[in-house]
Amino acid sequence: MKRSIAVFAAMMLVGTSAYAYQVTGPVLEVTDTKIIVEKDKEKWEVARDKDTKGDKNIKKGDRVTIQYRMTATSIESKSGAKDAKKDDKKDDKAKK
């Protein structure tokens, strides 16, 4: 019984971290709203705010690991516009 609870708990942890990512490297720049880290000669800019947990005294040159998530803030569908254009063309042909 204890083993099945432990397995279930482990599966829940894996499931919740499916959309979590991390980047590790030296800090190139840090402000109240962002932190830029270098990883494999690429610059990774990650937004941060008052709710970001961790050391608030990070400075340029510190080596850090940042845990982050990608979350959509808006989604715009383009497929509906194409369908409307097709319907307009059909209407034009029917009028002729």
Residues 34-81: pLDDT tens digits? 999 999 999 999 999 989 999 889 999 999 999 999 888 999 999 866
pTM for this model (two decimals): 0.59
Alpha-carbon distance of 44 to 95, in angstroms, equals 55
What structural domains and CATH numbers belong to the chain? 20-75 (2.30.30)
Alpha-carbon distance of 63 to 66, in angstroms, equals 10
Residues 20-35: pLDDT tens digits? 899 999 999 999 999 9
Question: Whose CA is closest to 44, among 20, 80, 68?
Answer: 68
